[in-house]
Amino acid sequence: MAHTQETVHAIVEKQRAYFRTGATLDVDFRIEQLKKLRKAVLDHKELLEKALWEDLRKSPVEAYLCDLGPVIVEVDEILKGIRKWARPERHFSGLMCFPSMSTTVYKMPYGVSLIISPFNFPILLTLGVLAASISGGNTAVLKTSSKSAACTEALKKMIADTFPEEYVTVVDGGHDTADMCLAERFDKIFYTGSPAVAKHVLEMAAKNLTPVALELGGETGNWCIVRKDANIRDAARKIAFFKLCNAGQICININQIAVAEEIAEPFLTELKKEFVRQIGEKAEENPDYPRLITEKVYEKCERLTEQYRDRVIFGGTGNREEVKFSPTIVYPVEIDEDIVRHELFCPMLPVVPFRDEQIDGILDVIASREHPLSMYVFTSDKRWAKRVMRTLQFGGGCVNEVCIHMMVKGVPFNGTGHSGMGAYHGEWGFREFTHPQTVLFGKTHMNLPLREHPYSGKAGEQKKKLLKWFER
């Protein structure tokens, strides 16, 4: 269906009218919807896996590992905790409020939410956010990516089979349709994508003062640091796995590696061995290796490979017909070169050598650039690693590991600055889609005249003394 501004407006108003019935406020209702969502994912598993294959050539194993499975885990975590999270909080009002001593904080849904999801994890980053929206008691319009057309069609069928349009619906189309959605007054917007588009989302949302959550890849990409005391075989194995995953099209993926010169050669030897062990000599010929989402991304890989041809030490080959490009190591690269100043979002992997005793200089450069979504360090010096992780600003990260920090239950996920705002997963997603609404319950008897005039003279002095005493 080709949407117009009128059809999008009608959808939003239909959802607004449904929200105002109060049906979504009931926690039992939300639990029922979350269970429906979980069942729908399992019932449509083959349809979703087929769509992920068609769009990204994801194997069934990778489709479940990276898209379907995490949705089930997310829903299960919410189901386990939602009653506790949604329970109103009771607070002592304090002596300043005497005799009205009881205050309640209600966790109120925003209302009609807009979820704009990307192509790289079209199931997870649509349904995972939807689960958070449902947990908060909102309705949802899902604007899925036109680049992952098969997944959009699968989601349209799954959502239509599961929820009424006035509660949850999918709106398909390109950037023009996204702008139609952004022109409407939503109560909450959650956007996943690039910092450049995020600025446009914020600009449009500002017209209606709509609160926005952003999950972004980061303007200058995510760093991985490999110190000279690292277990290079372990580091190579994990980095190779991660760079192969979704062909590097992951917002938390490693954009560039800074490796100590002292171990650079053996590390790169191990990294190349791991790529071959895990995917074969030519990744683009392996059916399990995902493809790039568009020919434009493929052409970017070709262009960068040609630009750095004399420094390509592994990969640099592709299959244009299948839109697959091999993981490609570029070494050595200076830290100020263009290839390490932008998010790549592809299988290119530039490597920056540094003297290990000059690590503080590398950290200064990273800190001076836009905040990354993720940060990874490989080292046996845990004290140094802890210092780095608590002083640099980024979304989240790992020490001697990659990516699995986002799989930990009970912790938030997202970035800061150019890598995002807000947070979600589990209770953090519930918080992101609810507004804490404070209500004081007043008393009609024993009210003191402290706040009332007169404020001057002897009465004023006495009131001031009492106020200071109450403040303690």
How far is it, in rounded angstroms, from Cα 232 to Cα 163? 49
Q: With contact defined as beta carbons under 8 Å apart, do 109 and 24 qualify? A: yes
Strands annotated E in 31-163: 89-92, 102-109, 112-116, 139-143
Residue 74: active-site member: no
Do residues 372 and 460 both lie within one domain? no
Is 414 a domain residue? Answer: no
Select from 110, 126, 115 the least CA-distant residue to 48: 126
Same domain, 194 and 228: no
Q: Are residues 259 and 376 in the same domain?
A: yes
Report pLDDT for 339.
97
pLDDT at residue 448, as a whole number = 83
Phi, psi (5° rounding) for residue 334? -75, 150
| pLDDT value for 7 | 97
| CA quadruple 379, 383, 385, 387: dihedral, nearest 10 | -160
Amino acid at 277: R
* Domain assignment of residue 285, yes or no: yes
Catalytic residue (choose from 66, 181, 224, 251): 251
Q: What is the CATH number of the domain that holds 393?
A: 3.40.309.10
What CATH number does residue 97 fall under?
A: 3.40.605.10
pLDDT number for residue 217: 87
What does each C-alpha distance from 196 to 174, 199, 207, 248 come to in angstroms? 16, 6, 18, 20
**Res. 470 pLDDT band, cuts 50 70 90:** confident
- Residue 274 is assigned to a structural domain of this protein: yes
Closest CA to 209 of 229, 189, 224: 189
pLDDT at 300 over 90: yes
Residues 177 and 289 in one domain: no
Backbone angles phi, psi at 350, to 5 degrees: -75, 145
What single-letter DSSP state applies at residue 67? I
Average pLDDT over residues 209-226: 95
> Is residue 372, in this structure, part of any structural domain at all?
yes
Give the H/E segment covering residue 307: helix 295-307
Please tell me the least confidently modeled range out of 189-193, 273-277, 463-467. 463-467
In the three-class reduction of DSSP (H, G, I as helix; E, B as strand; rest coil), residue 343 is classed as coil
The reply to whether 210 and 247 lie within a common domain is no
Residue 308 has pLDDT above 90, yes or no: yes
Task: Give Cβ neighbours of residue 444 (< 8 Å, ≥ 6 apart).
Answer: none
413 found inside a domain: no
Tokens coding 14: 């239909």
Does any domain span residue 281?
Answer: yes
Q: Is residue 454 in a domain?
A: yes
- Cα 415 to Cα 433: distance, rounded to the nearest angstrom: 17
Assign 457 a pLDDT band (cuts: 50, 70, 90).
very high
How open is the CA angle 201-343-148, to the nearest 5 degrees? 60
Q: Which domain holds residue 430?
A: 5-217+420-435
Question: Would you state the pLDDT for residue 449?
Answer: 87
Q: Are the C-beta atoms of 92 and 441 separated by less than 8 Å? A: no
CA distance 130 to 433: 10
Task: Evaluate whether 288 touches 59 at the Cβ level (below 8 Å).
Answer: yes
Report the C-alpha gap between 3 and 15 in whole angstroms: 16
Q: Are residues 332 and 425 in the same domain?
A: no
Cα 32 from Cα 21, distance rounded (Å): 17
DSSP-derived secondary structure letter, 370:
P
Average pLDDT of the residues in 77-102: 95
Instruction: Domain count for the chain, please give it.
Output: 3
Regarding whether 144 and 62 lie in a shared domain, the answer is: yes
Is 169 within the bounds of a domain?
yes
What span, in angstroms and rounded, lies between the C-alpha atoms of 347 and 121?
16
The model's confidence at residue 112, banded by pLDDT at 50, 70 and 90, is very high
**The residue count for the chain:** 472
Quick check: bond before 353 cis, omega within 30? no
Single pTM value for the model: 0.96
Classify residue 277 as exposed, middle or buried by CB count within 10 Å of its CB (0-12, 13-18, 19+).
Answer: exposed
- Strands (DSSP E) contained in 280-413 are 312-314, 318-319, 324-325, 328-330, 348-354, 374-378, 396-399
Per the annotation, the verdict on 281 as an active-site residue is no
SS3 state at 143: strand
pLDDT at 94 over 80: yes
385 and 297 within one domain? yes
Of these residues, 77, 215, 219, 432, which one is catalytic? 215
Containing H/E element for 86?
helix 69-86
Same domain, 294 and 182: no
Residue type, 269: T
Q: Give me the pLDDT at residue 280, please.
A: 97
pLDDT-derived band at 432 (thresholds 50, 70, 90) equals very high
Residues of the chain with pLDDT > 70: what percent? 100
Instruction: Note whether 311 and 385 are same-domain residues.
Output: yes
Same domain, yes or no, for 166 and 210? yes
Residues 398 and 307 in one domain: yes
- CA end-to-end distance (rounded Å), the chain: 63
